[in-house]
A and B are shown apart, each in its own frame.
Chain A
C-alpha cells in the first residue's frame, strides 16, 4: 500500500495524518511534506501514525530529521501511535525517549511543550 498524507491545523498545531507504508520507497514523500510545513512556518507538528501499516528505519530517519528542523525554531514534533508493531521499532532504537508519543490526537494537541 502506498503512503497517504493529509494535513490539517488545529489552533497553532499542524496535524499530519499518515497512512500506508513508510519505507525506503515512500519516505521521501513524507520528508518532503515535513520540510514544506516547516518552511511555511509550521513549527508545532503532530504526526498521526495510527493508519501506518509499516515503518522502517528510513521512516525513523525522516521523523528525526523533522524533529531537528522544528527544534531549530523552538518547535515540537509529537507522534500519535498505539500500534505495538510500530512502537516496537521506536523502543528498539531508543527513540521513545526522543519523541513524545501519545495515544490520541486530542492528547497530543493538549500537551504542553
Chain B
C-alpha cells in the first residue's frame, strides 16, 4: 500500500492545503473526477473539525492526515491529537451526533430546526459531522487513546504509484 502523509499546525489557513493535497492524491489514485468535489469537501470538513478542537484543547499539537491506496479504494484518515480527557468527551459527542444521522439538521424531514440552537450560529462541529454523515458512504469515526480518527474511503481505479516514473531514468 502506497501512502502520502501530511502533518500541519492546527490553523485554519492550512486546511485548504490539505484539501489541495487530497484532490491531487485522489486523482493519482484514479478516483472519478465527478467524486473529487466530494473528497475535497469531506477532507476539508474533517480537517476543519480537527483544527477547531485543537484550537480549544491542544493548539500546539499538529493534525495528521494519511492518504493511501487500498485495493480498489482511496482511503483518508484524519487524526486529531487531544489530551486524553477531552478526547474521550469529544469522541462520545461525535458518536452521539452521527448515530442514525442522515446528515440533515432537522428532526423532521423537510423541516430543519434552526431553533434547536439558541446561539446566533449553529454549532459548527455538529454541522461538520452532519455533512460528513450525509456526504460519505464509507465513514468511520474511531476514538483513539488521544484523540479521534475519522476514516473515509472512495472507489478508485488505479494505484498511487501507477504512472510514476523512476527518479533516475534507467
A: which residues have CB within 8 A of B?
Answer: 21, 23-25, 54, 56-58, 60-62, 64-65, 67-69, 85, 89, 92-95, 97-98
- The contact sample of 21 A-B pairs, CB cut-off 8 A, is A23-B12, A23-B16, A23-B19, A24-B44, A54-B19, A54-B41, A56-B41, A56-B131, A57-B127, A64-B114, A64-B121, A68-B120, A92-B134, A92-B135, A93-B131, A93-B134, A94-B104, A94-B106, A95-B112, A97-B111, A98-B112
Q: A23-B44, A25-B16 are in contact. Are A94 and B105 (CB under 8 A)?
A: yes
A94 touches B112 (CB 8 A): yes
Q: How many A-B residue pairs have CB under 8 A?
A: 86
> Would you call B40 an interface residue if the criterion is a C-beta within 8 Å of the partner chain's C-beta atoms?
yes
- Judged by a CB distance under 8 angstroms, whether B140 is at the interface is no
Interface contact B44-A62, CB-CB below 8 Å: no
Contact of A94 among B19, B45, B110, B120 (CB under 8 A): B110
Q: How far is the CB of B134 from chain A (nearest CB, A)?
A: 4
B32 interface residue per 8 A CB criterion = no
**A interface majority secondary structure:** helix
- The DSSP consensus for interface residues of chain B is helix
Expressed in whole angstroms, the minimum distance between the Cβ of A37 and any Cβ of chain B is: 15
- Of all chain B residues, which has the CB nearest A31? B121
Q: A24-B12, A24-B15, A94-B110 are in contact. Are A61 and B48 (CB under 8 A)?
A: no
Considering the chains assembled together, what is the distance between the CA atoms of A92 and B106 in angstroms?
Answer: 11
For window 114-144 of B, CB contacts with A under 8 Å fall at 114, 120-122, 124, 127-128, 130-131, 134-135
| Residues of chain B within 8 A of A68, CB atoms compared | 114, 120-121
**Contacts of B19 on A, CB cut-off 8 Å?**
23, 54
> In the bound complex, what is the Cα–Cα distance between A24 and B106 (angstroms)?
23
A60 to B41, CA, bound (A): 13
The answer for the CA separation of A91 and B41 in the assembled complex, in Å, is 14
In the assembled complex, how far is the CB of residue A60 from the closest CB belonging to chain B, in whole angstroms? 6
Which residues does chain B contribute within 8 Å of A89, judged by CB atoms? Answer: 41, 131, 135
Interface string of B16-27 (1 = CB under 8 A from A): 100100000000
